[in-house]
Amino acid sequence: MNAGDQVHPEADAWVVAIYATKGDYDPLGSGIVIDDRRILTCAHVIEDLADGQPWVAFPKAVDDVPEARRLVDRIVFPNARTPVKDLAILILGEPMPAGVTQATLRCPEPTALVSKRWWAFGFPAGDLFGNSAEGEVGSSLSHGWIRLDTTSRYPVERRTRST
């Protein structure tokens, strides 16, 4: 990969780890900060929580922020939720800690993304430290979805929960 192919953002203090409880260190998944009190994540990350109130942490932020936790006050799912609308907005009861930034969001057409490079950070299999993956958008699929082809030795995978 050439330096011009770098896809990792310069700053990623918007990465969020989502936990079932305040003292938990087994991430359910990840999300991204979209403003002072809201986090975007996948609905499947939090849909199985017994009490429905996850906690979030900010492991990529600077200073003492990675240890700062915030309780999710409310969860908003899409209207007419279906398997193709795998989104949730986590709304916090208090603002993000200082040092946490907002992700830059865009909304391009899926076909415009084909052959573009992508990067993601998450917590596969509940990995405490998380990991990144990258690759290229391989195809525009149905329902506005895209296929992510990976060139990373670390795959993007959905966490499987033990029962």
Instruction: Please check the confidence at residue 160 and state whether its pLDDT lies above 80.
Output: no
Q: How confident is the model at residue 5 (pLDDT cuts 50, 70, 90)?
A: low
Judge residue 31's burial from the number of C-beta atoms within 10 Å of its C-beta, 0-12 exposed, 13-18 middle, 19 or more buried: buried
Closest CA to 121 of 2, 4, 14, 3: 14
Q: What is the CA radius of gyration of the chain?
A: 16
- Fold classified for 15-92: Thrombin, subunit H (2.40.10)
Q: What is the pLDDT of residues 12-71, one digit of tens each?
A: 999 999 999 999 889 999 999 999 999 999 999 998 786 779 999 999 887 666 678 999
CA–CA gap between residue 53 and residue 75 (Å, rounded): 8
Work out the average pLDDT over 100-107. Answer: 92
Ordered alpha helix ranges (H), the chain? 43-46, 110-113
Q: Where are the domains of the chain?
A: 15-92
Q: What is the pLDDT of residues 39-53, one digit of tens each?
A: 999 999 998 786 779
Q: What is the pLDDT of residues 109-146, one digit of tens each?
A: 999 999 999 999 998 877 888 899 999 999 999 999 99
Residue type at 103 in one-letter notation: A
Q: How confident is the model at residue 1 (pLDDT cuts 50, 70, 90)?
A: very low
